[in-house]
Amino acid sequence: MWPRPGGFFTSANPSATPQLGGVPGFRDLLPLEAEILREAQESLLGEMRRWGYRHVITPLVESMDVLDVGLGIEQRRRLFKFTDARGDVVALVGERTVPVARLVAGKLRAAALPLRLCYAGPVLSTDEGRFQQRRETYQVG
């Protein structure tokens, strides 16, 4: 019988059954869905490049100090927050504009203006109603 005791799926609770369907609000993308998402992102980013935008990538985790400045109360409430190994409170990004603004204010502060930047990546929310019953979606901007 699968899973076998002591096999790949182990748990502190030996009677627990792994959630092979995944966590509610999150989903796996099968090959066709993954290809559609990749092509959509590439198409959008390609169009942005044609208009002179340059692609940047920011981390999925952001400091709450930064998010407290850039997000409203309701947006901050919907974040997955946790304390990292150093004791800093961080969150999984719920939108990508604030991390890009942090990047511009820091590492790109001396860059020639105007800056034309674009980004793409996953965003997460604790609120299942925000993204049509999904807590993870993708943002391109």
Task: Enumerate residue ranges in the chain where pLDDT < 50.
Answer: 1
| pLDDT value at residue 19 | 78
Q: Which domains does the chain have, with CATH numbers?
A: 31-140 (3.30.930.10)
Nearest to 139 by CA among 56, 41, 16: 41
| pLDDT in the model for residue 18 | 81
pTM: 0.80
Residue 7 pLDDT: 55
Which residues 6+ apart lie within 8 Å of 49 measured at CB? 55, 118
Is 109 exposed, middle or buried, given 0-12, 13-18 or 19+ CB atoms closer than 10 A?
exposed
Residues 129/114, Cβ–Cβ less than 8 Å? no
What are the DSSP E strand ranges found in the chain? 54-55, 61-63, 80-83, 89-92, 117-118, 120-124, 136-140
pLDDT confidence of residue 1: 43
Neighbour count for residue 7 (Cβ, 10 Å): 8
Q: How many residues does the chain have?
A: 141
What is the rounded CA–CA span in Å between residue 3 and residue 140? Answer: 39
How many CA atoms are closer than 13 Å to the CA of 123, on its beta-carbon side? Answer: 19
